[in-house]
Structure 1
């Protein structure tokens, strides 16, 4: 085993640029693994080695990053046949950059702790461009010692790295971040629809709102850049992914015995967008569907 070696599993929309920044800035030896060949080839050109398998990574590297679509994939990579739990060497540190349920995160950490494997949940926020630029916000749940160990690598991918508390707290913060974002986009979509119906130019409306107390990151990015021009590409953070993340927030609400009315409304709007054919599109596409009062014009 090479000292301070790093493995990275999951080279998708966010994973590839995160890995590239860590690889090129840290100088550490990297092994990468993905179901697709193209991102592995691109990172190999930057100096990474292709890993043979999850098992091989778990048995050889010091720090193993996961950047996967969601909790189901994280659980499969950790506990499935040929997974991390079956092959991890003592002293390995697993860092999950994915967004996953809080309860599952803590279960995975306990499972690996029994094998003398440390765990940190470190979900990321902001856009793909931020991932490319190395200016993500990363929210970390880990012990003080594990946070200190992994922070230097995380710093290469982010402008803000926050220790949110013990394992699971990174996920709590990211899930609630996304919940608030989705609810804000719903509010923006209502303002957009009402403004249009009243004869207001959409771009001028949102630009003016950005100069007042309605200003937000969501307005300036999701609103002005996506909702006003009605640009909802595939390959961005999709409606289906938004529904997955929102389900984690609603799971937290159920566990806490709290009715999250705003989150329920956001789920309804996202489901409407999915059912209208926008499931694979950038999630602000929810602005394309609206509920109508009886006798109204509908969608």
Structure 2
């Protein structure tokens, strides 16, 4: 009997020892180190720098620019008249004969004749349209002034995009607190702006501007025409040109030379700036616009 019990106890001890050994060598599932599977790299989140520009409309009013309230001020009425012809050229029958009819360059013969003032006012006026949107591009990369006219801080712009410092044009296309107005600043100065503006990248970008949105008008503020290579390059992209001339200052020979630098296939109009003419009610008159129809 004793021998049988001892044998049973010995067998039990051996079984317990084996079980203990197994529990040490084989930890429970929760403690087992499972093979690591390689995780796919997580793509970095693209941080957009397109924080909206907050335009101070009261400041614009105080500085004599177009207002967005639809008021019948002299400046509002003058630019309503100007933009009607531009919009008609952009989307009417003439548009079929123009390349990029909805892209309008605003320029002048010489500096300081009011082209940026005109470009900003046109953009503001078109932004008040019910069924149009407007993109204002500061392409005067030599002396940018669009943001300064609005009273806005400098940001990256078209130059940073063309040099590759910014990968996506959307990162320099800034919305504003005017729902239908977006702005692309010029960006920083660069020694190769002529080559950058003449690049295929710029050409493709302008094509996208012209064709992506059927209701969009693009206003491009360019450098003056005389003596600036960049302006002649930009003229190849636009279907319309508005040439700003200063009354009493612009020479007729300069105006003729400016027109010679534009494509004969463009619709070309003129705005006379700094012209004071009294109407019967005594209101100041900014200027006038006309377009030469092309055959």
Q: What TM-score do you get using the length of structure 2 for normalisation?
A: 0.32
Q: What TM-score do you get using the length of structure 1 for normalisation?
A: 0.32
Structure richer in helix, relative to its length: 1
Structure possessing the higher radius of gyration over alpha carbons:
2
More RCO (CA 8 Å, sep 6+): 2
